[in-house]
Each structure stands twice: as C-alpha cells, then as structure tokens.
Amino acid sequence: MSSKKLEVILEFFVFGVILGVAEDALAVKLTTGESLTWEMVGIIVLVAIPFAVMGELVVDNINLVKGIKKIRKKKDDAG
C-alpha cells in the first residue's frame, strides 16, 4: 500500500471518528438532557471507532463511478 493511500485512509478514519463522536455526543445530550462526562465521552469514542472502521472499509471497497456506469448501461440496454 502506498503511503499516499494510507494517508488518505487515515484521514477518512480520523474524520469519521471525530464526526461520529460529535454526532453521538449531540444525540446523547439532546435525548437525555444530561451533561457530558469524560466517562460518557469515552463510551462514545468506543462506539464511534467500529463505525468509522466499517465506514472506511465500505468507502475503500466501493467504486461509485464503476457502479454508476453499470446502472446506466443496464438502463440503456433495457430502454
């Protein structure tokens, strides 16, 4: 794996974790009304990391351009 690709993967992963933590913290605050504690933030981070990993695996393995071309080709063939 090239260092540039690894850099991009890590950027997406870190960004995913940060957004996941922010989203979950906001959801906890709005639904429970409780103040955020360090313990809650730790749990939120532990929950956000697996979802960031799954998101990274999905983003890394899906070629959207190829998929769109396949869909368009099927449409053109059908109609």
Both ends of the chain: CA-CA distance in Å? 42
The boundaries of the domain holding residue 72 are 3-78
**pLDDT tens digits, 7-43:** 877 887 888 889 889 999 999 999 999 899 999 999 9
In the chain, the percentage of residues whose pLDDT exceeds 90 is 28
Counting the structural domains of the chain, the total is 1
Q: Could you tell me the pTM of the whole model?
A: 0.63
Reduced to 3 states, what is the DSSP secondary structure of residue 35?
Answer: coil
The Cα 43–Cα 23 span in angstroms is 13
